Structures are given as structure tokens and as C-alpha cells.
């Protein structure tokens, strides 16, 4: 059995010369003509803080956009003001209401903290609860990617053969690493495969 994070697994993402693919990412920078109206111009417009009052994170993180939602909770893209970097924050909700919810969180934490492979997402940090005696949600800060495979396939972007080879190779490298560690991904689907703008996984 290969332990997660072992240096015995020498596989790495494919290295190919390939042009970058520019994604149509919602919330990306716009031209001056399409700039967002000044605050107060639209009294009916709600910002992310008003739309997501229950997504409670420290003030050094600025909410950017919602990335998805599942049985575990919600994922949101955030901007970390001190480091000027973009991350994804995944919130696990009601982790103590059912035993399986706590087990799911613990299992994911173990895999994220011990996996060391360039094709797997990284756990940056865990946001400490405000009240250690009374909390039901936990926020994990993860590396962010530009898009997932589902949105990429639905987009109008044309992928060259080199891009397809890179995506398939990187995905298989990540899966092989997990399988060698006796870890099975039980929800492998396009929406759970994150892609960068250079088509790395």
C-alpha cells in the first residue's frame, strides 16, 4: 500500500507545449464600456454578502461568486485580501446533525491533508470556528481553478488534440495516485474535475 504523499509515486502531469485556452469566466475583468455601475446606481442589485448572509467567513476574504452546491453544503470563490490570491471555500453544513456527515468531513480532511500530487486539489487551511463550543459548519480553504470539466464541455471553446491529451493524462495520473493509496473517488464526474486555463487538472 502506498501512503498518500509518498515520494514513491513519481508520476507528474504531462508537459506539453500547448496554447492556453481562455475561458469565459463569470465575474472576470471587463472592458471600460462594460464596467460595473457605481455602487448605488441600481437600488435593486444585491451583493454576495446580502445573498449569502449564512456564508460566514473572516473579513480578509472577499466573496466573489458561487461555485456550486451539493449535499455537503456550498462552495464559493473568494479573494484573500492580504495575499491578493483567489481561493475556493467549501462549507460543510450541519456536520454534527448526522453521524455520516461528520464521517464524510473527516474522510475528506484526511485525504486532502495527506495527498501530495500536482493533479489533486490542495487544502490551504481550515477557518477556525468563531464559537468552539457551539458550531455546526466548517469552512475549508482550497486552491481555486478557472473552470470545471462540465462547464468546459458546455462552452464554445475549441480544444486542440494536445489539450485533450493533457486533460485525460492528468486525470488518469490523479486517479492512479489515489488508487495506489487504496482511495476510491466515489463521485467522479465532469463537475468534479477542475481545469486551469492551461488545461492542467
Residue pair 181/4 in contact (Cβ under 8 Å)? The answer is: yes
- Give the residues across from 91 on adjacent strands: 74, 139
d(CA 85, CA 81): 7
Residue pair 161/173 in contact (Cβ under 8 Å)? The answer is: no
Q: Which helix (H) or strand (E) holds 59?
A: none
> Hey, which residues are catalytic here?
187
Closest CA to 147 of 189, 191, 195: 195
- Give the residues across from 75 on adjacent strands: 68, 90
SS3 92: strand
Closest CA to 199 of 141, 153, 138: 153
Residues 6+ apart with CB under 8 A from 90: 72, 73, 74, 75, 139, 140, 142
Residue pair 17/160 in contact (Cβ under 8 Å)? The answer is: no
Amino acid at each position: 500500500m502506498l501512503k498518500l504523499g509518498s515520494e514513491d509515486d513519481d508520476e507528474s502531469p504531462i508537459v506539453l507545449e500547448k496554447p492556453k485556452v481562455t475561458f469565459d469566466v463569470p465575474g472576470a475583468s471587463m472592458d471600460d464600456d462594460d464596467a460595473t455601475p457605481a455602487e448605488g446606481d441600481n437600488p435593486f442589485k444585491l451583493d454576495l454578502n446580502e445573498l449569502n448572509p449564512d456564508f460566514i467567513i473572516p473579513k480578509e476574504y472577499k466573496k466573489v461568486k458561487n461555485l456550486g452546491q451539493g449535499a455537503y453544503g456550498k462552495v464559493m470563490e473568494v479573494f484573500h485580501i492580504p495575499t491578493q490570491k483567489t481561493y475556493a471555500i467549501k462549507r460543510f453544513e450541519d456536520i454534527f446533525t448526522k453521524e455520516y456527515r461528520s464521517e464524510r468531513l473527516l474522510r475528506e480532511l484526511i485525504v486532502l491533508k495527506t495527498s501530495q500530487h500536482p493533479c489533486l486539489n490542495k487544502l490551504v487551511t481550515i477557518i477556525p470556528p468563531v464559537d468552539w463550543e457551539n458550531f455546526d459548519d466548517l469552512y475549508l480553504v482550497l486552491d481555486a481553478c478557472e473552470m470545471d470539466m462540465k462547464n468546459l464541455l458546455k462552452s464554445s471553446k475549441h480544444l486542440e488534440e494536445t489539450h485533450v491529451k493533457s486533460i485525460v493524462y492528468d486525470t488518469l495520473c490523479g486517479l492512479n495516485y489515489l488508487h495506489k493509496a487504496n482511495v476510491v473517488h466515489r463521485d467522479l464526474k465532469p463537475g468534479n474535475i477542475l481545469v486551469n486555463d492551461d488545461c492542467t487538472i
